[in-house]
Amino acid sequence: MTQLIYELDIKALTNLLKEWNEPAYRAKQIWQGLYQHLYDSPEQFTNIPKSLREQLAEHVTFLPFTVKIYQDSSDGFTRKTLFELPDKNLIEAVLMRYGDPADNPQITAAAPHSENLRGAKNRRTLCISTQAGCAMGCVFCATGQMGFKRHLSSGEIVAQVMYYARMLKDVNESVTNIVLMGMGEPFHNYDNTMAAIDRLNDADGYNFGARRFTISTVGLVPQIRRFADERRQVNLAISLHAADDESRVSMLPINKKYKIADVIDACRYYVAQTHRRITFEWALINGVNDSPEVAKKLASRLKGLMCHVNAIPLNPTTGYAGIATDRQRAILFKEVLEQAGIPCTIRMRRGIDIQAGCGQLAGSVVS
């Protein structure tokens, strides 16, 4: 039986090497090889003895998936990869490159309305999956439409990052931000998700700052509270999408269990515990949740909360008839919120031509 090396934290790696009668400092050498040099095969570890490289080759693997498809958006700034796991489940991860339009006419031409690109110099944001499929069944979401397959292990989550980290290293770049907004509900797979973040955060390893991660959740209240108690520096985003229960439950079935008021209470608790600003995500759907009245209701719900609303026009999916709000109406929505003192950004749709919305590529392959 071989084991995925990214499943191991430094302690487990040290124990494994102890079993092989190797000194503890070898664990550190391998850890650095994995997370600082981004090695992905035993031969690359030239600083350890050949016998140990052979042990690695025999007992551990470095790649838990194969690349089924990859696609680049027509503007060349988004790369989406669909990975196939050994059990044939599919997961996806998307890299989004941002530059400063002032410096880069190519970006301005490709995305003329992308006000939120300004000042975002050379960001390399990676969006990764935490589950194959998702159990939450949000009606407009391609992942929700395919149902739950299984949780990803911590190593499978880490491996998505390492895959892209190596790709960027080849062109002298690196990942600058990681968002857990791919397939799956990270708080439904809490322990593996946090273990993956901790592994990537390790100062002697990949050293990816906690504040550069963003977890997005559909609003699992007990986990929001647990996350608040752990006082992590990781950013938190909540998928709200509606300002009253009736509307929210028609889009997000989980709202039967956790009502908006309870979600927002948990968010207030989070801000009180961490003193960190929280983000609310809002997929703007024409005629469903994009009116000035809804914006007013939302603003009154969020009153006094240190927060920010990220509104993004709906990405079309085959299983849902709703369509995206147009730009004018989106701006009106933003203005109503801002007049009520709630900051709002309209995110542009990235990589829409490569189905870079959550779960969309996997969905199209499965069907």
Q: Give me the active site residues, please.
A: 92, 358
Establish how many alpha carbons lie within 13 A of residue 8's alpha carbon, considering only the half-sphere containing its beta carbon.
22
**Under rule CB under 6 A, residue 127 binds ligand SF4:** no
Give the rounded distance of the alpha carbon of 180 from its chain centre: 2
**Under rule CB under 6 A, residue 242 binds ligand SF4:** no
CB of 220 to ligand SAH, least distance (A): 9
Work out the number of other CB atoms within 10 angstroms of the CB of residue 198: 14
Looking at residues 191 to 220 of the shown chain, list those that interact with ligand SF4 (rule: CB under 6 A): 218
Work out the number of other CB atoms within 10 angstroms of the CB of residue 247: 17
Residue 311 to residues 22, 30, 268, 344, Cα–Cα distance (Å): 53, 43, 20, 7
Cβ proximity of 117 and 107 under 8 Å? yes
CB of 312 to ligand SF4, least distance (A): 12
Residue 302 to residue 279: CA distance in whole angstroms: 11
CB of 187 to ligand SAH, least distance (A): 8
| Binding-site member from 143, 176, 310, 360 for ligand SF4 (CB under 6 A) | 143
Please tell me the count of residues contacting ligand SAH according to CB under 6 A.
Answer: 17
Strand, helix or coil for residue 33: helix
What is the per-residue binding string for ligand SAH in 317-346, x denoting contact by CB under 6 A?
x-----------------------------
Q: The tokens 């990270």 sit on which residue? A: 186
Span from 107-115, 130-138, 166-174, 256-264 in contact with ligand SF4 (CB under 6 A): 130-138
Cβ proximity of 153 and 192 under 8 Å? yes
**Under rule CB under 6 A, residue 184 binds ligand SF4:** yes
Return the one option of ligand SF4, ligand SAH, none that residue 312 interacts with (CB less than 5 to 8 A, by type). Answer: ligand SAH
What is the per-residue binding string for ligand SAH in 248-287, x denoting contact by CB under 6 A?
---------------------------------x-x----
Contacts of 151 by beta carbon, 8 Å cutoff, 6+ apart: 130, 131, 184, 188, 189, 192
Locate all alpha helices (DSSP H) within 151-208, ordered by sequence: 154-169, 190-201
| Binding-site member from 315, 325, 351, 355 for ligand SAH (CB under 6 A) | 315
**Under rule CB under 6 A, residue 177 binds ligand SAH:** no
Residue 349 to residue 341: CA distance in whole angstroms: 25
Site residues, ligand SAH (CB under 6 A): 138, 140-141, 181, 185, 216-218, 239, 281, 283, 312, 314-315, 317, 357-358
Site residues, ligand SF4 (CB under 6 A): 134, 136-138, 141, 143-144, 184-185, 218, 239, 358
